[in-house]
Structure 1
Amino acid sequence: MAYAPGAVLIAALAVGCSSGTGTGDSATDSKPGAPTTSAAPPGKYRTLPEACRSVSPATLKDLLPGSAELPEAQQEKVFDGSPAVTYDTDRRVGCRWKAEAPEGARSLFVDFERVVSYDTSVSDDDRAREVYAKKEAAADLPAALPGSTDSGTPDTSDSPSATASGKPGKDAGKDAGKGSDAGADGKTGTDTGDTGGGSTAESLQPRVLDSLGDSAFLDDLLTRAGSTAQHRTVSVVFRTSNVIVTIQYTAQPALSTEIPDSKELQEKAQALGRKLVDGFSE
């Protein structure tokens, strides 16, 4: 059967008109008023600080007693720190410092994690909130006391402990002032030698911090090294935009009968946290 050339041309034109404008847009995209989807915004921070330069020598002298008395060469070695092993310095960096003194040893570890969301519908900040919330939940903090401040008013937007599941708080304060390891898990904020009442013990318990970065918490763990020696590690974890910072400050006295001062360690760890937050704001 033969076809007229004119009929072929008309058919081709008809197909071309029905296929759209020829720009590759889909039929949905070409409809007027069709909704457009934009990717979630990236995080505020695209880089991380140099971890081993994030803490000034003056601050390290305060955090590592005895370091100031070292010979200059040894002092510089201590202040240089030891960088953490990492496979992607754009995403995570860390540094550790340690100093020995006649009264005992102190160490400091600082970790910076830049959270990136690979889901275009989830922002880096929202993903960082999720990562932070998991860290706080893993810390298993005691339930916040009604009317507490500080150091205890939770940020309900990010803090899983702010919506307590009904679990009772830890018995971290029941042996306050006795110099004992209160609680089977070793968590306590009370072994300071202060027998002035329960309020001091309660204020030193692991808790949410309400004035550090976008959200933060503090953990306090007393453990035994070997058969008798004890060491305490205070951890401060905070989020600022899409970066999560972890500070671990540890003290181990030379005498096995001595218990590290929780109040001192907590105050110094929080002070360092505030300096690091200020550094992100500059």
Structure 2
Amino acid sequence: MQRKAYVPGIAALLAALLAGCTGGSGSKGTSADPKPGDISVNTPAAQPGKYRTLPEACAAVSHDTLDSLLPGIREITDQDRRDTAYEGQATLTYDTDRRVGCGWKVESTDATDHLSVDFERVVSYDNAVSDDSRAQDIYATEETAANLPEASASATPSGSGSTTATPSATPSTSASTSASSSASSSASSTSSASASTSAGPSETPADLQPRKLSGLGDEAFLNDKLNSGSSTAQQRTVTVVFRTSNVIVRIEYAEQPAASTGTPDSKEMQDKARNLAHKLVDRFNG
């Protein structure tokens, strides 16, 4: 009989405890603070980049474009060797979803030409930074490292508008003016010679200097360097870098003349490199 009286007492105690637990959780469950590091609360994810894959680098440049950039290919008579030249050499990478590249080197009777293309798909692992923003940072770093010259307006020709003689000038005045003009001309020549010396033996026209480019992806720049490959021959390297969304494309085009006194043409090489860049932009956008 005592066991029968004891069981209901235990049941009542358990019921009271359960009621207390239920009431406590109900009063605080809707206002519980999120756990530290819980990114699902009030932290919207940054937008992913437009591009999720990369094209095959060695197949990204058409044969016609390679013929233009690397004229030595057309001089190869053996078909197998020519096909190998068109194929290029893939750059060694460990993640082809993130970065791929390809290079070509072809000799001709006039010069040895090098071409390389590099595609980098930028992915931000910071939930608060988009892929595009991260790509912008990487591109900005490369543009700064290129040390592009400041854009400036064309200078007025030296002496312009200062050579008109005054009809009513007396002989002495004319002589004084002539002497002054001669001195000014001499000073101007000295200044020009000094500027030419400091600028280097082959000053590049303003429209061919390293610069930012417009109308090429989201942002782009071009660099042009002339280096002495030997004691006499000079190698020119033209680089075009552009960004389209979260992909950065780098083009490097170099030419080493066969003749010791040759100098690669800056405008021709820049035009070819920019033409390739526009074709690659169309490839990504298409």
TM-score category, normalised to shorter length: 0.7 to 0.9
Match of 1:91 in 2: 98
Match of 2:248 in 1: 244
Contact 1:52 1:82 in 2 (8 A): yes
CA distance in 1, matches of 2:28, 2:41: 21
Match of 1:202 in 2: 206
1:207-218 correspondence runs (5 A): 207-218=211-222
Structure 2 residue identity aligned to 1:27 = A
C-alpha deviation, 1:19, in angstroms: 3.0
Q: What secondary structure, in the 3-state scheme, does the structure 1 residue paired with 2:215 have?
A: coil
Contact 1:45 1:241 in 2 (8 A): yes
Contact 2:101 2:118 in 1 (8 A): yes
Deviations 1:165-190 (A, max 9, x none): xxxxxxxxx659x99355xxxxxxx2
1:15 aligns with 2:21: yes
Match of 1:124 in 2: 131
Deviations 1:105-150 (A, max 9, x none): 1110000000000011111111111111111111111112259xxx
Contact 1:179 1:259 in 2 (8 A): no
Query: Does the C-alpha gap of structure 1 residues 17 and 122 become closer, same or farther in structure 2, counting only changes over 3 Å?
Result: farther
1:25-64 correspondence runs (5 A): 27-28=32-33, 36-64=42-70
CA distance in 2, matches of 1:241, 1:20: 49
1:155-234 correspondence runs (5 A): 175=196, 180=201, 190=204, 201-234=205-238
Match of 2:150 in 1: 143
Query: Does the C-alpha gap of structure 1 residues 204 and 11 become closer, same or farther in structure 2, counting only changes over 3 Å?
Result: same
Contact 2:99 2:121 in 1 (8 A): yes
C-alpha deviation, 1:27, in angstroms: 1.4
Deviations 1:70-89 (A, max 9, x none): 12222111100000111111
Q: What secondary structure, in the 3-state scheme, does the structure 2 residue paired with 1:10 have?
A: helix
Match of 1:154 in 2: none
CA distance in 2, matches of 1:28, 1:237: 48
Match of 2:275 in 1: 271
C-alpha deviation, 1:232, in angstroms: 0.6
1:106 aligns with 2:113: yes
Could you say which structure has the higher helix fraction?
2
Q: What TM-score, normalized to structure 1?
A: 0.75
CA distance in 1, matches of 2:73, 2:122: 34
C-alpha deviation, 1:28, in angstroms: 3.6
Contact 2:101 2:119 in 1 (8 A): yes
Q: What TM-score, normalized to structure 2?
A: 0.74
Query: Does the C-alpha gap of structure 1 residues 83 and 22 become closer, same or farther in structure 2, counting only changes over 3 Å?
Result: farther
Contact 1:206 1:218 in 2 (8 A): yes
- Between 1 and 2, higher relative CO (CA 8 Å, sep ≥ 6) is seen in 2
The structure that has the greater radius of gyration is 2
Structure 2 residue identity aligned to 1:79 = Y
Equivalent residues, number: 232
Match of 1:156 in 2: none
Contact 2:75 2:108 in 1 (8 A): no
RMSD between superposed Cα atoms in Å = 2.8
Structure 1 residue identity aligned to 2:220 = A
CA distance in 1, matches of 2:255, 2:240: 15
Which runs of 5 or more residues in structure 2 are unaligned?
1-8, 35-39, 155-194
CA distance in 1, matches of 2:104, 2:91: 11
Match of 2:12 in 1: 6
Deviations 1:174-213 (A, max 9, x none): 659x99355xxxxxxx2xxxxxxxxxx0111101111100
Contact 2:103 2:116 in 1 (8 A): yes
